Structure 1
Amino acid sequence: MFTPMFKRYLLLFLVILATACNNNPKEADNKDYIYKVVGVKDGDTMVLLSPDNIQTTVRLAEVDCPEKSQAFGQAAKQFTSDLCFGKQVKLIANTQDRYGRTVGQVELSDGTNVNYALVKNGYAWQYRAYSKSEQLQSLEEQARQGHLGLWQDNNPTPPWEFRKEGKAQRATNKDAKPKKAKRHYKKRKSKYHDTTSF
């Protein structure tokens, strides 16, 4: 019924089609990467362990938690830890920051977005320099109105301002620090003289 030449072309076509389907970049991009949360450094930074035992430090995208030394900094860290430490999570990575950390969204197995949960419960600001999400903006506004978390303070300092103030303070302290005068040492003559002559 089919000629041998036709069968060869059909087989070749099927092989090419199967290869193209397996190498579809859209499918690869949508693949779920499941990790275990093995460390929480602060409210918006955690350490994930891949199934092949590779650790990845992740900075949560679009949000900024108070620094650990700021009011509610430790509370934000505790919230993140309670929410996801030791659990399986999905990482939706966006990019890498200048410190080499992966920046992305982290989701729990029940679909809870950790980034958004921090803002919703008043433990983070929407990081507007890096986020235009209307949903995050709305969640922050609701947390503000409900006086949740850090919004219990009348006028909390955003962490990016806190970091800027800290950097300026360190620079001022460095400039104000008196420089030590250099000491000049005199060479001492040895009390032992070589009197041997050749």
Structure 2
Amino acid sequence: MRIFLYALLCFPLSFFSQTTAKVVGISDGDTITVLLDGNVQKKLRLAEVDCPENRQPFGKNAKKFTSDQVFAKKIMFTEMKKDRYGRSVAKVYYDNGKYLSAEIIKAGYGWWYYSYSKDADLGAMQNKAKTKKLGLWQDKTAVSPWDFRKEQREKAKQKRLQKQGVI
């Protein structure tokens, strides 16, 4: 019982501790790969932001922005949780405390992921970028990544049903 209580008390401290790493890869605007001590690579999904998919308008721009900000740099990150794909969702800080997700939103290369964030300041940053027509906000018909992914799933489902002769 004592071990269980000790683990329960220590878990939040260890779970939310900051880790230093070097960024060695950029998958897209909101997913990076870092190199930890011992030459271990870890994929991080940025918390509180959702960038356009690579196949979406501004997807490559978002990836380039993220790369310009952190590629080959030392960063600090705090893991928040695991997502449904097993990636670590993390808050990433660089250049003496800049919060990467906030910088992406301010530059107009990502949406505030309000479904997974309670930080209204990020929403205000998004609105400011939108008003200034920065990044993806130049496109009046910009589609959020979550809506884009939903459309892609629906299209794939329709194709499967057509192949099966159901439709």
TM tier relative to shorter chain: 0.7 to 0.9
**Which of structure 1's runs of 4+ aligned residues deviate more than 3 A?**
24-32
Are residues 1:50 and 2:13 paired?
no
Are residues 1:68 and 2:58 paired?
no
Match of 2:95 among 87, 109, 113: 109
RMSD: 1.8
Bigger strand share? 2
Deviation string 1:21-53 (CA, Å, 9 cap, x unpaired) is xxx958756754110000000000000111221
Deviation at 1:65, TM superposition (A): 0.2
Are residues 1:78 and 2:64 paired?
yes
What residue in structure 2 maps to residue 135 of structure 1?
Answer: 121
CA separation in 2, counterparts of 1:148 and 1:109? 22
Question: Sequence identity of aligned pairs in percent?
Answer: 40
CA separation in 1, counterparts of 2:138 and 2:34? 31
Deviation at 1:118, TM superposition (A): 0.5
Deviation at 1:117, TM superposition (A): 0.5
Instruction: Provide structure 2 residue ranges, at least 5 long, that are not aligned to the other structure.
Output: 1-8
In the alignment, is the contact (CA less than 8 A) between 2:15 and 2:79 conserved in 1?
A: no
Distance 1:178 1:30, change over 3 A: closer
Give the number of aligned pairs.
156
Are residues 1:123 and 2:113 paired?
no
CA separation in 1, counterparts of 2:113 and 2:13? 30
Instruction: Provide structure 1 residue ranges, at least 5 long, that are not aligned to the other structure.
Output: 1-23, 180-198
Match of 2:161 among 150, 161, 175: 175
Bigger helix share? 2
CA separation in 1, counterparts of 2:122 and 2:100? 12
Normalised by the length of structure 2, the TM-score is 0.88
In the alignment, is the contact (CA less than 8 A) between 1:122 and 1:144 conserved in 2?
A: yes
Normalised by the length of structure 1, the TM-score is 0.74
Which structure exhibits the higher relative contact order, with contacts defined as CA atoms closer than 8 Å and separated by 6 or more residues? Answer: 2
In the alignment, is the contact (CA less than 8 A) between 1:90 and 1:109 conserved in 2?
A: no
Deviation string 1:45-91 (CA, Å, 9 cap, x unpaired) is 00011122111100001110000000000000000001000000001
SS at match of 2:62: helix
